[in-house]
Amino acid sequence: MELRQLKYFIRSAEVLNFTEAANDLFISQSTLSQQIKQLEEELGILLFDRVGKRIRITEAGNLFLTYARQALQDTKNGKQIIEDLKELKTGTLNIGVTYGLSALLTDTIVSFSKLYPQIKITVDFGTSEDLLEELKIAKIDFVLSFLQLPADDIFVSQVLFDSKLALVVHPSHSVAKEKTIDVKDLQSISLALPAKGFNTRDFLEDAFKKNNISPSVKVELNDINMLLQLVETGNWCTVLTMASVKGRPDLQTIPITGIDITRQASITWHKDVYRKKAALVFTEMIQSQKH
C-alpha cells in the first residue's frame, strides 16, 4: 500500500469513474485500473463493484475511504508544519550566550519576537565551555560569545562586530570625570572583575601580563549582573567590553589607552547541524543592528 494508491482510490471513489479519475490524476486509465486492483489485492477485498460499465463503491471501500483520506490528510499536515517551520510560523529557537554578550541580545529578541511571535525563544546563559558543549549535542542552535580559537573543528565561527574593552564606573566614582584612562593607571584603581575562567577575565589577564601590569583586583564575581551592581555602588570599577554594558545608561564607560584590547563578538555554529531558518534570521538581525 502506497500513498499514490490511496490518492488514486480516493479520487476514483469521488467521481466513481476510472476514466475520469485517471484524467484528473494525470495517469492513464489502465494504470489506475491496475493500481486499484493492486490495492484491492493487498486488502483482500474489493473496493469497487464493477457493474457493467460502471463502478460502485463497496461497503469495504466506503469504510476504507475514511482512513485513506485521513492518512493523506496527515501527510498534508506534516508537509504544512514543515512549511510553517520554514516560514517561521512555528518552532523553537535555542540561543546560547555568554554573560558578556547577554546585554546585546535584548533588542534583537524584542524585534524578532515582534516579527515572528509564534517562535518560542529560549536563552541559555553560560560560560563558553558550557555552551560549546551544549552546541555539540545540538541543545542550542548557536552560541554568541567573544571569539576564541575554535578548540574543536566541529565548530565554525563568524565575527559579528568589534567591541573595545573599557573601564566601567559609576558617575559618583572619582575617575568618572576622566575622558580616557591609560592602562598603567588601572593599577591604582580598586577593581571588581569577572572570576577567572570567564572569557573576558582571561583575555584581560593575558593583556595585563603582556604589558607588565598588575591591577589591584579587590573582588571577583561569576555573575556579570552582580558585578555591575557592585560598580553602581561607586566603590569599585570594572573592565568589560562596551557591548557588555549596553542598556545600562546609569554606568559610564571610559576608553582605555596605551593598549589594544579589542574583542570580537562572534557567533559559533555546529559545523554539521542543520541551521534552522529561525536561527539564520535571528543572527542576521543581530548583525544588522548597530553596535
Q: Which does 27 bind (CB under 5 to 8 A by kind): a copy of itself, DNA, none?
A: DNA
Nearer Cβ to DNA (38/235): 38
Query: Smallest distance from the beta carbon of 278 to a copy of itself, in angstroms?
Result: 9
Positions in 48-107 near a copy of itself (CB under 8 A): 49-52, 56, 58-60, 63-64, 66-68, 70-72, 74-75, 77-79, 81-82, 85-86, 90-92
Residue count, binding to a copy of itself (CB under 8 A): 45
Radius of gyration of the chain (CA): 32
Closest C-alpha to 286, from 117, 142, 185, 170: 142
Query: Smallest distance from the beta carbon of 100 to DNA, in angstroms?
Result: 29
Element (H, E) at 68: helix 59-86
Q: Which does 34 bind (CB under 5 to 8 A by kind): DNA, a copy of itself, none?
A: DNA
Residue 182 touches a copy of itself, criterion: CB under 8 A: no
Question: Which stretch, 2-10, 111-119, 182-190, 281-289, contacts a copy of itself (CB under 8 A)?
Answer: 2-10
Positions in 236-275 near a copy of itself (CB under 8 A): 270-274
Query: Smallest distance from the beta carbon of 133 to DNA, in angstroms?
Result: 13
Residues ≥6 apart with Cβ < 8 Å to 156 = 150, 268, 269, 271
Q: Which does 156 bind (CB under 5 to 8 A by kind): DNA, a copy of itself, none?
A: none
Q: How many CB atoms lie within 10 A of CB 191?
A: 19
Nearer Cβ to a copy of itself (25/273): 273
Q: Residues interacting with DNA, by CB under 7 A?
A: 2, 4, 17-20, 26-31, 33-38, 48, 50-55, 154
**105, 117 Cβ separation under 8 angstroms:** no
Report the alpha-carbon distance of residue 242 to residue 291 in Å, rounded: 9
Ranges assigned E (strand) in the chain: 48-51, 54-57, 92-98, 120-126, 142-146, 155-169, 181-182, 190-194, 216-221, 238-241, 252-257, 262-270
Which residue from 15, 25, 27, 46 is in contact with a copy of itself, where contact means CB under 8 A? 46
Would you state the cell numbers that stand for residue 103, as one nine-digit string? 546585554
Angstrom CA distances, 279 to 141, 156, 173, 271, 285, stand at 7, 15, 41, 14, 10
**284, 112 Cβ separation under 8 angstroms:** no
Query: Smallest distance from the beta carbon of 155 to DNA, in angstroms?
Result: 12
Positions that interact with a copy of itself (CB under 8 A): 1-4, 6, 43-46, 49-52, 56, 58-60, 63-64, 66-68, 70-72, 74-75, 77-79, 81-82, 85-86, 90-92, 138, 154, 270-274, 276
